[in-house]
Amino acid sequence: MSNLERFYNLVDGNYQASATGCWLTTANPYTGADWAEVPQCGIDDVEQAVAAAYRAFSSGPWARLNATARGKLLRRLGDLIARDAEKLAALEVRDNGKLYAEMLGQLRYLPEWYYYFGGLADKIEGGVLPSDKAEVFSYTKREPLGVVVAITPWNSPLMLLTWKLAPALAAGNTVVIKPSEFTSCSTLALMALFKEAGFPDGVVNTVTGFGHEVGTALVSHPLVAKVAFTGGDATGASVYSQAAKNIKHVTLELGGKSPNIIFADAHIENAVKGAISGIFAASGQTCIAGSRLLVQRSVYQQVSEKVVALARTAQLGDPMLSTTQVGPITTLPQRDKVLQYIDVAREGGAECLLGGKRPEAEALANGWFVEPTIFADVHNQMRIAREEVFGPILSIIPFDDDDEALSIANDTPYGLAAGVWTADIRRAFRFTDQIRAGTVWVNTYRAVSFMAPFGGYKQSGIGRENGQVAIDDYLQTKSVWVNLAEEVLNPFVMR
């Protein structure tokens, strides 16, 4: 047996290894060393977890629990996450290499999702229909879907899981979670809090392992009613087509190539800070990364210089330290992919103003770091401007006027987010109207909230997470007809 820390799945209220007894190792992106093991599950584990979730949905205490009690459980869970925020944040950092300060900020904010959706649980209402038939009373009920499979990526495991779990449970569904093979530990650690909060067995279950094995098996399982997926667009397309085979509900939160647009009239110092946080926060590993910086030509030189100057000050280092500003890339394959995109940008003719390689410092040699990298004179047709990199690479693209900015901003298959920096309120509203993206920020970037619907236009996804609308994606509507007439009429007499 290895001496790495081991984490176990929660299935039907029991902590367990995989049916085969195989394990997957998980590495710390800062040291490059393996530090933990999680079960490598297979088909048998999928069957067990889905069966447990289906039983919990169809019978047992969860199925009988009223909505107010469901809400209380969610709020209790929120309190426990607040209590354990530091512990969970430190686990996330070991697994995904993001800054402790950022992960702690996320963990301290997460309870709000459970409070908000816990509060919504007993406000899910149907309606009485104005009937056009005599002596008929009809109304609608809004009911949960059943077993929901939640599939999450590696960049913000607990936050992106929460965006699914909180509305799914508030609506009365049960859940099977498949975390990323690279960052499963914090999700498995969270499971203890579900037990402590008092959730009945089988309401929340986990299955760790490879996406192409357990992910596919979960998505195609006949007892699964819905798949809520966050990840890359190619995997999303495959999940979508698998789920279509037996007509499952699907929510897809996919990638982006978001434009962050700076006009000459903007407060330039603020806009530069927004450009930097838009791309270098989380080492660029966010779906909403403002990876295309569109800058009006009259301030192009000035903005480029300021962005480079500020990016140059970024401290790379141990993500647990409060002095570190940019951490490593979460996975080794992703680090290599980011480096390949640097070659792609150079080959495409972009000019590298900063970075463009692994850092040389001895202290960073074992970690999966890439220097904050900035390319200038990027044209929107270059691959570096069209494909999601998911790393600390910024492309600066010049434009002359509003129409050109809008046309470049929308010239992408994605539509997740966009930023506009301007002092002109009319321009700001025009852009918020005309940019084809699920979120548009004006004079800010990267803000998200439990209250604000989040999701993609175009190939960035389907459905919305967060906000009141999110719960609709976990409900279905039933129409009920009650005949109040004394006598049922002769069916052979047409009326």
Q: List the catalytic residues.
A: 253
- 253 part of the interface to ligand NDP, by CB under 6 A: yes
Give the residue, chosen from 55, 76, 178, 226, that forms a contact with ligand NDP under the rule CB under 6 A.
178
Rounded CA separation 39/208 (Å): 6
- 152 part of the interface to ligand NDP, by CB under 6 A: yes
Sign of CA dihedral 487, 490, 491, 495: negative
Helix, strand, or coil here: 147? strand
> 188, 151, 152, 154: which is closest to 27 by C-alpha?
154
Q: Can you list the positions of beta strands (E) in 321-372? A: 351-354
Give the residue, chosen from 140, 216, 277, 476, that forms a contact with ligand NDP under the rule CB under 6 A.
216
Give the residue, chosen from 65, 89, 160, 470, that forms a contact with ligand NDP under the rule CB under 6 A.
160
Give the residue, chosen from 56, 110, 169, 239, that forms a contact with ligand NDP under the rule CB under 6 A.
239
- 259 part of the interface to ligand NDP, by CB under 6 A: no
Part in contact with ligand NDP (CB under 6 A); list of ranges 136-144, 206-214, 260-268, 345-353: 206-214
> 354, 402, 346: which is closest to 374 by C-alpha?
354
- 215 part of the interface to ligand NDP, by CB under 6 A: yes
Give the residue, chosen from 26, 28, 106, 155, that forms a contact with ligand NDP under the rule CB under 6 A.
155
Rounded CA separation 218/180 (Å): 14
Rounded CA separation 433/379 (Å): 24
Q: Which is nearer to ligand NDP, 172 or 328 (CB)?
A: 328
Q: Measured from the CB of residue 9, what is the shortest distance to ligand NDP in angstroms?
A: 14
- 416 part of the interface to ligand NDP, by CB under 6 A: yes
Rounded CA separation 155/246 (Å): 30
Helix, strand, or coil here: 226? strand
Q: Measured from the CB of residue 195, what is the shortest distance to ligand NDP in angstroms?
A: 23
Q: Measured from the CB of residue 259, what is the shortest distance to ligand NDP in angstroms?
A: 15
Distances (CA, A) of 432 to 437, 438, 442, 464: 9, 10, 8, 18
Part in contact with ligand NDP (CB under 6 A); list of ranges 112-120, 224-232, 400-408, 487-495: 224-232
- 180 part of the interface to ligand NDP, by CB under 6 A: yes
**What are the tokens at 186?**
């914090």
Max distance between CA atoms of the chain, in angstroms, equals 90
- 461 part of the interface to ligand NDP, by CB under 6 A: yes
Rounded CA separation 357/8 (Å): 38
Give the residue, chosen from 106, 174, 187, 238, that forms a contact with ligand NDP under the rule CB under 6 A.
238
Q: Measured from the CB of residue 485, what is the shortest distance to ligand NDP in angstroms?
A: 51
- Cβ contact 369:316 at 8 Å: yes
Which residue sits closest to ligand NDP, CB atoms considered? Answer: 211
- 15 part of the interface to ligand NDP, by CB under 6 A: no
Q: Which is nearer to ligand NDP, 26 or 422 (CB)?
A: 26
Q: Measured from the CB of residue 89, what is the shortest distance to ligand NDP in angstroms?
A: 18
- 151 part of the interface to ligand NDP, by CB under 6 A: yes
Part in contact with ligand NDP (CB under 6 A); list of ranges 7-15, 85-93, 175-183, 195-203: 175-183
End-to-end CA distance of the chain: 77
For residue 25, the surrounding DSSP H or E stretch is strand 23-27
Rounded CA separation 176/207 (Å): 7
Q: Measured from the CB of residue 223, what is the shortest distance to ligand NDP in angstroms?
A: 16
- 473 part of the interface to ligand NDP, by CB under 6 A: no
For the window 440-459, what string marks contact with ligand NDP as x by the rule CB under 6 A? Answer: ----------------x---
Question: Which ranges of 139-267 does DSSP label H, i.e. alpha helix?
Answer: 157-170, 185-197, 216-219, 233-244
Distances (CA, A) of 29 to 80, 89, 182, 263, 412: 28, 15, 10, 37, 31
Q: Which is nearer to ligand NDP, 118 or 215 (CB)?
A: 215
Part in contact with ligand NDP (CB under 6 A); list of ranges 35-43, 71-79, 211-219, 373-381: 211-219
Packing angle, helices 67-83 and 157-170, rounded to 10: 160
The residues with which 461 forms a beta bridge, in sequence order, are 253
Rounded CA separation 51/176 (Å): 10
DSSP 110: T
Site residue total, ligand NDP (CB under 6 A):
31
Q: Measured from the CB of residue 231, what is the shortest distance to ligand NDP in angstroms?
A: 3
Give the residue, chosen from 172, 231, 398, 415, that forms a contact with ligand NDP under the rule CB under 6 A.
231
**What are the tokens at 456?**
């993609």
- Site residues (CB under 6 A) for ligand NDP, limited to 279-308: 287
Give the residue, chosen from 46, 120, 207, 254, that forms a contact with ligand NDP under the rule CB under 6 A.
254
Binding site for ligand NDP (CB under 6 A): 151-155, 160, 178, 180-182, 210-212, 215-216, 219, 230-232, 235, 238-239, 253-255, 287, 388, 390, 416, 456, 461
